[in-house]
Amino acid sequence: MPPFDMGRAREKSAQTESHPCGACPVRSLTVCAALEPDELRRLADILQTMRVDSSQTLFSEGDAADALYNVTAGTVKLYKLLPDGRRQITGFLVTGDFLGLAVNESYAYTAETVTTTTLCRFPRRKMETLLDEFPKMQRRLFSMASNELAAAQDQMLLLGRKTAKEKICSFLLMLSQRAARRGHKDNPVFVPMSRADIADYLGLTTETVSRTFTQLKTSGAISLQEGNKILIADMDVIYDMAEGS
Amino acid sequence: MPPFDMGRAREKSAQTESHPCGACPVRSLTVCAALEPDELRRLADILQTMRVDSSQTLFSEGDAADALYNVTAGTVKLYKLLPDGRRQITGFLVTGDFLGLAVNESYAYTAETVTTTTLCRFPRRKMETLLDEFPKMQRRLFSMASNELAAAQDQMLLLGRKTAKEKICSFLLMLSQRAARRGHKDNPVFVPMSRADIADYLGLTTETVSRTFTQLKTSGAISLQEGNKILIADMDVIYDMAEGS
DNA sequence: CGAGCGATTGAACGCTCTCAAAGTGAGTGG
DNA sequence: CCACTCACTTTGAGAGCGTTCAATCGCTCG
């Protein structure tokens, strides 16, 4: 069940006098936090809400970057490819995360939905104008980009220096902490992505991911539950295993 | 020879009526670009310039983040450590790069000089005030953070999916392109960091880095020159090897 | 029930690591 | 000027972790 009815929201946003943002339950998590009602109305005027099925490409590496997006529900993956098809997933985005920052007017990665996803779409030009008008939002976006940068550095440590088991434990921990930060329960963890996606995120193969889950399961550290959920037996144990200590 | 005399600059900045920024030759590369003369003066009032020997720690992971820095000459490395001492270098910073973005009021990484380095230091509080006053600078900082984010994603692809040879070639190419962007010649490439630093940046060991350089040297793709410089025989060949195609 | 896709398991390989030793070069002091 | 030190780099040999290739399992859906 999505946090609010996007179908209705879309209809509303077509009527420019309404402003769905005011009622948006995920606003506090994201770039629109701390905007005044009139500012929110201005924002609502330029955005369009979208509902996208799973496994759909939002945009591809190299595409002209003509919009920013904000995830309001679901999960999106970002990835880069090498010429021979090797893939690196650089992030899984969930409720409250934004995507679409670009460097040379074009996207540096492909964005694809993992689950059914709802998003707010902000046309770049209009968004830039608005950012100039609302320094508060600019600041917020900068702060969120800083957080992403820190997360990227954590991921570099993981990719460059951690073992398969440490990678998997770090991954579960990240999902758990992220869920907690969004007000969901942190255990069991909902893992909507495939083994292949996890592998491409952690710099492993699907086989190694599968084997490592089996090991953790056998050792009693975790157990798989219905509906792609993973129960962490002892959070501290997983935490220690995530850093090799 | 550093791009300008930092010793004199420091004296000047102690006299609040002068403004060394106006004469700064690297301004166009960095966060101070496109500021008006009076804004530059305001900036000069809050910054202090520093000259730091090689292998000195500027700040450590977890330290209270009380300043932003701007590299005006030299090379700085950023790294994170695991409890058992494994290290991941997340970036090498050169002229024009900034460092010190923090998340929870504390630095997420350690910063250490590779070579003798000169920097501008901006106290965080004063910098934040100034950023609010100068949206242009805020925007510029955001744009630079976006570029860093894109570079971080490239690095994830490298760490997660590239072979040792591809990593080394990508690294050389990055150094070359970076030098070109700063107006230096792109070949031969100046490589001031040790094998150990390169290894910790690329997720390899020093031995593998050394062996890979030897391979490239033997195959004629590169040759080592005096003064830590590497001559790339054919840029296109290196480019292809960097992506496995 | 059968097709098809993802996940799991098995066996063997190989790239990179680990451990070890030798080589190189800059700096120091006799 | 040379011997010595010390840190860094290079080279070698062997081992191991994760990969590759392949087969089986299990679930979903027509």
Give me the mean pLDDT over the B193-197 stretch: 98
What per-residue confidence (pLDDT) applies to A180?
A: 96
Q: Where are the alpha helices (DSSP H) in chain A?
A: 6-14, 37-46, 124-133, 135-161, 164-181, 195-202, 206-218, 235-243
- Give me the residue from A88, A149, A162 closest to B156, CB to CB: A88
A240 CA to chain B: closest CA distance, Å?
A: 10
A8 to chain B, any CB pair closer than 8 A? The answer is no
**Interior angle at CA A166, CA A162 and CA A170, nearest 5:** 105
List C-alpha distances in Å: B50 to B5, B73, B101, B114.
11, 10, 18, 15
Cross-chain Cβ contact A83/B152 below 8 Å: no
The dihedral region occupied by B4, where left means phi > 0, alpha psi between -120 and 50, and beta the remainder, is beta
- Nearest alpha carbon to residue A69 among A33, A109, A120, A127: A120
CATH 2.30.42.10 fits A6-154, yes or no: no
B214 CA to chain A: closest CA distance, Å?
A: 22
Does the structure show a pLDDT above 60 at B215? yes
What per-residue confidence (pLDDT) applies to A116?
A: 96
Q: What are A117-162's pLDDT values in tens digits?
A: 999 999 999 999 999 999 899 999 999 999 999 999 999 999 999 9
- Residues from chain A contacting residue B78 (CB–CB below 8 Å): 153
**C-alpha to C-alpha distance for A125 and A89, rounded to whole angstroms:** 28
Does the structure show a pLDDT above 80 at B15? no
List C-alpha distances in Å: B18 to A27, B14, B41, B44, B50.
46, 8, 8, 8, 17
Percentage of chain A beyond pLDDT 70 is: 92
- Residues from chain B contacting residue A101 (CB–CB below 8 Å): 146, 149-150
What per-residue confidence (pLDDT) applies to B20?
A: 75
Paired strand residues for A49: A120
Q: Indicate the pLDDT class of residue A245, thresholds 50, 70 and 90.
A: confident
Tell me the residue type at B239. Answer: Y
B103 to chain A, any CB pair closer than 8 A? The answer is yes
Tell me the residue type at A238. Answer: I
DSSP structural state of residue B20: G
Give me the mean pLDDT over the B33-59 stretch: 92
- Residues from chain A contacting residue B108 (CB–CB below 8 Å): 150, 153-154
**Which tokens belong to B40?**
């530059």
Q: What are B115-143's pLDDT values in tens digits?
A: 999 999 999 999 999 999 998 999 999 99
What per-residue confidence (pLDDT) applies to B7?
A: 37
Interface of B with A in 32-71 (CB under 8 A): none
**Which tokens belong to A219?**
């050792």
What per-residue confidence (pLDDT) applies to A92?
A: 98
Does the structure show a pLDDT above 50 at A15? no
Q: Which fold has domain B162-242?
A: Arc Repressor Mutant, subunit A (1.10.10)
- Give me the residue from A108, A132, A146 closest to B103, CB to CB: A146
Q: Indicate the pLDDT class of residue B67, thresholds 50, 70 and 90.
A: very high
Tell me the residue type at A27. Answer: R
Q: Indicate the pLDDT class of residue B34, thresholds 50, 70 and 90.
A: confident
Q: Are A3 and A26 in contact (CB under 8 A)?
A: yes
Q: Are A94 and A71 in contact (CB under 8 A)?
A: yes
A13 to chain B, any CB pair closer than 8 A? The answer is no
Q: Are A116 and A53 in contact (CB under 8 A)?
A: yes
- Mean pLDDT, rounded, of chain A: 91
**Which tokens belong to A101?**
């920052």
Give me the mean pLDDT over the B136-156 stretch: 95
Cross-chain Cβ contact A160/B159 below 8 Å: yes
**C-alpha to C-alpha distance for B158 and B140, rounded to whole angstroms:** 27
B159 to chain A, any CB pair closer than 8 A? The answer is yes
DSSP structural state of residue B186: S
Percentage of chain A beyond pLDDT 90 is: 83
Q: Indicate the pLDDT class of residue A19, thresholds 50, 70 and 90.
A: low
DSSP structural state of residue A114: S
What per-residue confidence (pLDDT) applies to B17?
A: 39
Q: What are A54-83's pLDDT values in tens digits?
A: 999 999 999 999 999 999 999 999 999 999
Q: Indicate the pLDDT class of residue B19, thresholds 50, 70 and 90.
A: low
A164 to chain B, any CB pair closer than 8 A? The answer is no
Chain C bases having any atom below 7 Å from a protein CB: 6-11, 15-20
- The separation, in Å, between residue A92 CA and nucleotide C14 C1' comes to 31
Contacts A–B by Cβ distance under 8 A: 125
Q: What ranges do the domains of chain B cover?
A: 6-154, 162-242
The dihedral region occupied by B233, where left means phi > 0, alpha psi between -120 and 50, and beta the remainder, is alpha
Does the structure show a pLDDT above 60 at A14? no
- Mean pLDDT, rounded, of chain B: 91
Q: What are A210-236's pLDDT values in tens digits?
A: 999 999 999 999 999 999 999 999 999
Q: Which long-range contacts (CB under 8 A, 24 or more apart) does A181-187 make?
A: A182/A29, A182/A94, A182/A95, A182/A96, A186/A235, A187/A231, A187/A232, A187/A235
Which of A61, A78, A79, A82 has the highest number of chain B CBs within 10 A, making it the mutation to test binding with B?
A82
- Residues from chain B contacting residue A103 (CB–CB below 8 Å): 146-147, 150
Q: Are B168 and B209 in contact (CB under 8 A)?
A: yes
B245 to chain A, any CB pair closer than 8 A? The answer is yes
